[in-house]
Amino acid sequence: MFCSPKICAGTIKITKTGELKYMLKKFICCKKGFIGCSDSYKDSKVVIIGAPMDLTVSFRPGARMGPSKIREVSYGLEEFSMYSMDSLNNKSYYDAGDLELPLGNVIESMKTIKEASNCILENGKIPFFIGGEHLISLPVIEAVSQKYKDLVVIHFDAHADLRKDFMGEKYSHATVMRRVAELIGGKNIYQFGIRSSTEDELHYARENTNFYPFSFMGHIKEVFKELKQKPIYVSLDIDVVDPAYAPGTGTPEPGGCTAAEILEVTLLLGDLNIVGMDLVEVSPMFDLSERTSLLAAKVIREMLIRMG
């Protein structure tokens, strides 16, 4: 495939005034952004932004490499989708590149992610974050919930992520949904695909969240009907998919949904009022076949078609 020289977004820096400042770089072919991305931030409806952080990963680090690899493999996909019978060609979305995060500093990294989220929201656009570990979801959800007071979070994951703390740490990829529950209320969280938790997490989920563990396809349509009028934030941990289809993740958990099922879910999500989304925990170094990154890119493509 040939394309003319273009300007693509590089590293993002956040200014004190809350504006996004882009360091633009020239490339012979626009392969730094997600496939089909617009050159215009101003005219976009959805803004893709990478958060390359894996500071609290407890098993296999490497998710910080997820955003760049997902962008790279996206060029192996068609811009047209046979699932949606639609194309990215007539959608308006912008890939702003990756945030520049302070290595080793969890709190400052989350502050930067929240500030970037606020910038996007203030400009009337929908943030779509690519992780990175799952903790990156917390500052994004915090920003989105300040704009949408009745926000609902739909959480796809193999793990409950509801620990009160993990090894003494309040902020971790294992505690992220507990922090979200404290922020927006557990009954505003819908959890799908969970098949791994502590006993305490299981009790907490059954009492405090809307909990649909293991195979969830039978519940999705009815639940989504109830949520049609709500502002929705979607947080999708790629390990909700069985490692047979998505081995490239930090904490793989056998017994998950198939690649086909998660793609079916994207079509159903498209009927909801999505005001923010993230896709997290792709760790490319554990998947030489790149099928995890390809699946993530395909999920993103389908969501962009429905959202953009």
Q: Which residues are annotated as a binding site?
A: 134, 157, 159, 161, 237, 239
User: How far is 215 from 262, CA to CA, in rounded Å?
Assistant: 11
User: How far is 74 from 81, CA to CA, in rounded Å?
Assistant: 13
Binding residues for Mn(2+): 134, 157, 159, 161, 237, 239
Q: Which of 113, 11, 97 is nearest to 55 (CA)?
A: 113
Q: Which of 262, 273, 272 is nearest to 300 (CA)?
A: 262
Q: Which of 253, 234, 137, 130 is nearest to 195 (CA)?
A: 253
Characterize 260-286 residue by residue with b for buried, 16 or more Cβ atoms within 10 angstroms of its Cβ, and e for exposed.
Answer: ebbbbbbeebbebebbbbbbbbbbbeb
Q: Is residue 92 packed enough to be buried (19+ CB in 10 Å), middle (13-18) or exposed (0-12)?
A: middle
User: How far is 148 from 233, CA to CA, in rounded Å?
Assistant: 10
